[in-house]
């Protein structure tokens, strides 16, 4: 891109509530398509001081969400 970044590789980050939102966005790949985001666009996440005691009401069995929310 014009600023020297790669438009096809994004890494999410945020602090505090932003860290929580970045983590939730990175984990909820099932919602990316609804927003028109390609499945391989977001490459990683660096949440800083976010609330990570997250709750998912019904994670899909065998999914990353299940491993994150139930362990």
Can you give the residue ranges of every domain in the chain?
Answer: 10-70
Each residue's pLDDT tens digit, 35-66: 898 888 889 999 999 888 766 677 788 888 77
Each residue's pLDDT tens digit, 2-21: 777 777 788 999 999 999 99
Biggest CA pair distance of the chain: 42
Place of tokens 């996440």: 45
User: Which of the 8 DSSP states describes residue 6?
Assistant: -
pLDDT at 9: 82
Alpha carbon distance 60, 12 (integer Å) = 23
């Amino acid at each position: 891109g014009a600023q020297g970044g790669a438009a096809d590789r994004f890494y999410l980050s945020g602090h505090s509530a932003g860290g929580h939102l970045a983590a939730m966005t990175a984990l909820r790949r099932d919602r990316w398509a609804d927003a028109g985001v390609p499945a391989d666009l977001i490459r990683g996440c660096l949440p800083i001081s976010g609330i990570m005691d997250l709750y998912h009401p019904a994670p899909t069995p065998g999914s990353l969400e299940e491993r994150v929310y139930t362990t």
